[in-house]
Amino acid sequence: MKTTFRIISVIALFIFFTQSNTFAQGCVAIRSTGGICTMAEHPDSANASGYWLFNSNSRYYKSFRHFVGKQEQFQRIALHNNVINKVYTQDLTLTRVLDQRWSISVNLPMADNSRSQVQGTLGKRFSTHSFGIGDIHAAGYYWLFNPAKATNGNIQVGLGLKFATGTYNYQDYFLNATGGKTLGAVDQSIQLGDGGTGITAEINAYYNLSHRFGFYGNFYYLSSPKDVNGVLRSTNPASATTIAVTGDVLSVPDQMLIRFGASLAVNKFDFSLGVRDDCLPSKDLFGNSDGFRRPGYIIGAEPGVTYRMKKVSLYAYCPIAIIRDRTQSVPDKRTTQLTGVYTQGDAAFADYVINVGITFKF
């Protein structure tokens, strides 16, 4: 029985946003709160209630490949004018397992981000940075079927809130056309938060074919009813067209994650291989979708390995991008209608994300 639950715990031990996410990689800015599942093991034992889980997850990626739609803009790297984002996020998650079916969890993300870009007039590269606490996420989770009886498979549902605790108008100095410095809000992709309170919904499921082999699936959605956060996209004055299509101010977007795959237990190791789709929709589920955002999705392969001891687990996951697509935003579509010229912005993506972490049970 214990071996069975090693298999299914791969599902739950690590499914991070969140980010950030992760996770959508680069300018498609999905935060690291995405996809946190709190159950690090199936609650079937006599000690299935009244204990804590603490998880520390480190995530890093470097985004530098530009895409418009699914087409990579190879000339950006060749001309050395591509944007380079380096994002490091430390997620700290504390979970209280209340009984065999209920648990609650709180996630605190901390980020250290940088963005290297070229000042167009001067052709000189410079960097902006952000550092601090991100948007805190709290949620409750419930197993739909009695874990003591549903030992081959189960479904966990979760409902939570993402709070606007991260700075969404973090500022740094930009290089201007005269070679001087201008203070302004850093790019949306490295902001610590989005400025809106959101509602999260999760579904986490597994089914075991044997004591060693099983399947898992996860769905996460963050709904952000707030329209825009009031932060100007650029330190430069916006054009009349940009203002008319609401592209001058930052949007507060929804986020979505779909993840599924298979896992295999071998002694103290759990090996998993899955497919994941990180998505930032062009339109929100509720509320308006004005403002600047870089919508898109990444479909990737996600290999992972976990090593388990009695009360400690170590893991490493590395989602690898297969399909990257920067889709049309609402301002892009409005600009197309207004000018008669098809408009679609670009975004920088990473090739992979590195995730390593540790979980303690106490």
List C-alpha distances in Å: 200 to 13, 55, 89, 219.
18, 20, 20, 11
What is the predicted pLDDT for the residue at 32? 52
Residue range 259-286: average pLDDT? 95
Across the strands, what pairs with 91? 57, 109
CATH class of 2-361: mainly beta
3-state SS assignment for residue 88: strand
Residue range 181-199: average pLDDT? 97
What's the distance, Cα to Cα, between the start and end of the chain in Å? 21
How confident is residue 151, by pLDDT bands cut at 50, 70 and 90?
A: confident
- CA 51, CA 346: separation in Å to the nearest integer? 46
For 241-251, write each residue's pLDDT tens digit: 999 999 999 99
Strand bridging mode 137-143 / 153-162 = antiparallel
What is the predicted pLDDT for the residue at 31? 55
What is the predicted pLDDT for the residue at 29? 55
How confident is residue 26, by pLDDT bands cut at 50, 70 and 90?
A: low
Delimit the domains of the chain by residue range.
2-361
What is the predicted pLDDT for the residue at 110? 97
Across 9-18, 25-34, 44-53, 237-246, the highest mean pLDDT is recorded for: 237-246
Task: Give me the percent of the chain exceeding a pLDDT of 90.
Answer: 83
- Residue 347: what residue type? A
> In the predicted model, is pLDDT for residue 108 greater than 90?
yes
Mean residue pLDDT across the chain: 88
> In the predicted model, is pLDDT for residue 2 greater than 50?
no
What is the predicted pLDDT for the residue at 360? 95
Least confident range of 23-37, 95-109, 146-160, 244-258: 23-37
What is the predicted pLDDT for the residue at 27? 65
3-state SS assignment for residue 335: helix
0.95 surpassed by pTM: no
Contacts of 100 (CB under 8 A, 6+ apart): 43, 44, 48, 49, 143, 146, 147, 148
